[in-house]
Structure formats: C-alpha cells, structure tokens
Amino acid sequence: RLQHAILHEAYYLIEAGVASVEDIDHAAQRMLAPRMCLNGLIQQKDISGLKIHADAQESIVPKLFHNATPNPMLQTMVALGRTGLSAGKGFYDWNGCDVEAVRRQASSQLAKLLEFLRSGIGPPAPGTRPKAVSR
C-alpha cells in the first residue's frame, strides 16, 4: 500500500508536468531511499523532528493528489503496450538494452544493498537503539 501511495503521487507529478520521470527517480534515489534504508519511514521522522514533519504536512498534504482511481496516464501506457522493460518502452526507452542483463544487474545490485543493510554500517553506538511506543 505504501509503495502504491508513493507511486500514485509520483505519476500525478509526472502527468501534471511538475516533475520529469528522471526528477522523480533522482529524488527517490538520492533523498528518500537512503533515509528509509537506514532508519525506516517512521523512525526517520522521529530523528528529524515531528514538529517539522507536522508543519510540513499542514502545507503539503492539502496539495497532494487525492483520487481513488488508478492513474489514467499509467493505464493508457499499458493499453498502448508500453509496459516497461520487456516491451522495450515504459517510462524509459529500453530499446537496445539486453533485458536479461538489466534484470540480472538490478537483482545483483539489490542483493548487494540488502546484504550491506543486513551487515550494517557498523554496530549501533550505545544508547542509539530506540523502542517503539504504543499510540
């Protein structure tokens, strides 16, 4: 559900011309993903401060795209056969790329990242491991 909520907003931003496909991927890779990998979604907000997050929500949430229907841009792309890597085109043009090599590379990179995250960057410093509190 979280993934689709993020994607729904990303598709809207692309369709509305607010950001390009590359802009969305860059922001996810460089700003969102590293923090989520290291601290998780909720813990990161505790670390950065809930007051900052609450203030940001007041201005950002009303501007989020609220719609209960699948994104029409995505539905049209699929109807036109632009289904991604296997078809040669989706949001990116994959023509000329070796499909299996792309998949192997993506799988290998993910495995390396997951192994790195499992091994950690080092042991947590004493007194840095929080416990979740109930609401």
Amino acid identity for residue 60 in this structure: I
Q: Residue 8: how many CB atoms within 10 A of its CB? A: 19
Look at residues 68, 63, 62, 69 and name the one whose alpha carbon lies nearest to residue 18: 63
Instruction: Write down the architecture of domain 1-74 according to CATH.
Output: Orthogonal Bundle (1.10)
Q: Kindly state the DSSP code that residue 29 receives in the 8-state scheme.
A: I
Q: Kindly state the DSSP code that residue 80 receives in the 8-state scheme.
A: T
pTM for the structure as a whole: 0.80
Residue pair 11/71 in contact (Cβ under 8 Å)? The answer is: yes
Task: Look up residue 117 and give its two tokens.
Answer: 């995250």
Q: Which residues have a Cβ under 8 Å from the Cβ of 111 and sit 6 or more positions away?
A: none
pLDDT of residue 112: 92
Per-residue pLDDT of the chain (135 residues; tens, 9 = 90+): 999 999 999 999 999 999 999 999 999 999 999 888 888 888 889 988 999 989 999 999 999 988 889 999 999 999 999 999 999 999 999 999 999 999 999 999 999 988 888 887 777 778 888 888 877
